[in-house]
A and B are shown apart, each in its own frame.
Chain A
Amino acid sequence: MEPLLISKREKRRLASQYADLCLTCGTCAGGCPVTGVDGLDVRKVVRLALLGMDQEVIDSKFPWVCTLCGRCEHACPMNIDLTALLRSARAMRPRDQVPGVLHKGVAQCLKSGNNVGIPKEDFLFLLEDLAAELGEELPGFEVPVDKKGAKYLFTINSKEPFAEPEDMFFWWRILYAAKESWTVTSENWEGVNWGLFTGDDAAMKEIVGRVVKNYKEMECEYLVLPE
């Protein structure tokens, strides 16, 4: 292996501003539940990054079994930005090698406005149907769609309309009881941004941008993401 100049920051592609401050104390890895999986741990990831061995990290599954929970960096005495480092390793995977459905979800969200590709008509029909059902118990209940000037704009986790629609009742009951002014939008209502997980900053920005656009157009006071 060719010797590397540790001082040459631009050699490092994995994002961490402070990795060279690492004391190799191992506090990070000591409190991480996946230390050792795939022969790696977070302290070793820092070492690899410092040695310029980025590809080893990028190709390993460690950055993906790591949940980016932040426990390591919370405990790190040098406050090293470990989750940024790990997330950047995810970002450097070619998109077709992103594990599982994550990138497909991102692509679907960019295309259809939600991660699972529910068409607008189906979504609206579902809301109406569910609202009628809840209305039997709570007289006068309805789901305000695209209501301009509502106080709160709620996003929706696509998992709910997709698989567990009645879980939406929990929030609806609370909003009914509080007599709140709220709304959901008929398009780009997805509240889950998988770009965050795949390290895809461009997609993440686009998806956030759409939600913010809704929020502005609906002239709502607050945006709520019940995640």
Chain B
Amino acid sequence: MSIHDLLKQYLEEGRIKVDKSIHHELTTYHDPCNYGRKSERMFGHGYYEEPRWVAQQCCENFVDMYPNRANNFCCGAGGGAWAAPYVEERTFYGRTKAKQIKDTGAKLLIAPCHNCRDMIMKSLRKEYDFMDVEVKYLWELVADSLVIEPREEEGEAEEE
């Protein structure tokens, strides 16, 4: 089961509640190759719309990068490149991604993949000077937007 389907299902069925107003800054979404193109090629379905829908339940202002979905640029760390020694090449690769992100003007970037998130957060932000853009996993965005109802008899369990 895909995490996108699961998160979407929770939200649609009302099993989790989220508060959009926690994330009011302009937010954009990075399409990871694996959930997009690869999934489309291998399983006939690319996860483009589901994560966007989930993200938009949790943030007020959303903007897409250009190009996006199947034509999106890879972060530069895919295929194991994050763990390979070619740092310079990887960073060079990421220049297109960095430009895409900066061009949106977004201050929050959602990346539903460990690899992409690490690459963008820990490498590209520094190399291409956009430390002011926050990076979160899709599930981190959801977790940070949660309104958790207290369990029976227990006290309030509020998010920070």
Residues on A lying within 8 angstroms of B by beta carbon are: 33-34, 37, 61, 64-71, 73-75, 99-102, 105, 137-140, 152, 157, 159, 167, 169-171, 173-174, 176-180, 192, 194, 196-198, 222-227
Contact = CB atoms under 8 A, between A and B. Distances in A.
A174 B142 contact: yes
Interface residues of B, number: 55
16 contacts: A64-B81, A67-B78, A67-B93, A69-B74, A74-B71, A101-B83, A140-B151, A152-B6, A171-B143, A173-B148, A174-B143, A177-B17, A192-B114, A222-B1, A224-B3, A227-B113
B13 to A, nearest CB: 9
A139 B151 contact: yes
Contacts of B79: 64, 66-69, 197
Contacts, number: 141
B65 to A, nearest CB: 14
B143 A170 contact: yes
A105 B150 CA distance: 42
A158 to B, nearest CB: 10
Contacts of A192: 114
Residue of A152, A192, A197 contacting most chain B CB atoms (<10 Å): A197
Given A167-B140, A174-B142, A74 B37 contact: yes
A152 B1 contact: yes
B34 interface: yes
A68 B77 CA distance: 10
Which 9 interchain pairs have the tightest Cβ spacing?
A197-B80, A67-B78, A69-B74, A68-B79, A170-B143, A139-B154, A222-B1, A65-B89, A69-B33
Nearest to B136: A170
A65 B74 contact: no
B10 interface: yes
Contact of A74 (B70, B85, B143): B70
A147 to B, nearest CB: 17
B93 A102 contact: no
Residue of A65, A99, A179 contacting most chain B CB atoms (<10 Å): A65
